[in-house]
Amino acid sequence: MINQVINIQNVTKSVSIGNSKQTLEILHDISLTANAGEFLSIVGPSGSGKSTLLNAMSGLSKPTSGQVTILGTNPYQLRPAKAAAFRRDQIGFIFQSYNLIPALPAFDNIVLPLRLAHRKVDKEKITQLLKQINFEANPSNFVSDLSGGEQQKVAIVRVLVANSRVIFADEPTGALDTVSRKIIFDLLRHLANQGVCIIMVTHDIEMAAATDKAITLSDGHLEKVIDDPTAEEIFQALNEEKS
């Protein structure tokens, strides 16, 4: 079994500015690794490149330069169909924008990846998870009729039932109340304890302090990697980046 799940080396990401030939470099020469069972948080001010880094690491947005390896595979070297299958079978995503299908009921959104992968749907497990995270709507309700917080819970349960080996989470608890945030974090922590690699972008310093490793970003630069972080260490690192 591969212990090292993610390895990114010298990753940069540039985007074009308007219709000009000028480019803006959003990520600057970032290298880091993550192992099975490791829970990493990525923290930094708005605009520091957190979501861009997560997308580059996860195979969703090809970096301008550098190497990305997930479970020994470079997803950017795969053909589109194989890349899609690799992401579906190995990787879970909790998007800030939820990425749900409004025209489908909540339950169908949850099981869609399983059905596409021709995998068994465990209705009892899904029902238990929805109850555990205080999902108050009817799972047969269309996603378009749900509140933002309930949509986020659907997106989270969709990932939790997929048995992915690595989960990328972009502000997974942003729309949730304090109790629900703790429940979701504890579920992610449990998965990490079971060997899943979790990479989470968050603005919540207290939550980041409960992860195994905190990565602090500033203006697209990786500033610090803090093992067994405390809230004070993260806060100090973020303030150092501002000065």
**pLDDT value of residue 241:** 65
Can you tell me the distance from the alpha carbon of 163 to that of 44, in angstroms, rounded to the nearest whole number?
29
Per-domain residue ranges of the chain: 37-51+79-242
**pLDDT value of residue 93:** 93
Can you tell me whether residue 52 is helix, strand or coil?
A: helix
Can you tell me the distance from the alpha carbon of 181 to that of 153, in angstroms, rounded to the nearest whole number?
10
The domain 37-51+79-242 belongs to what CATH superfamily?
P-loop containing nucleotide triphosphate hydrolases (3.40.50.300)
Can you tell me the distance from the alpha carbon of 90 to that of 12, in angstroms, rounded to the nearest whole number?
24
**pLDDT value of residue 19:** 77
Assign residue 44 a region: left if phi > 0, alpha if psi is -120 to 50, beta otherwise? left
**pLDDT value of residue 1:** 47
Phi, psi dihedrals of residue 119, rounded to the nearest 5°: -110, 155
Q: What are the average pLDDT values for consecutive 10-residue runs of the chain, which has 243 residues?
A: 87 87 92 97 95 95 96 96 91 89 94 89 93 92 92 92 93 86 91 96 95 96 96 93 62
Cβ atoms of residues 199 and 50 within 8 Å = no
Would you state the structure tokens that stand for residue 156, as one six-digit string?
């989270």
Beta bridge partners of 214: 41, 226
Q: Residue holding tokens 């979790």?
A: 198
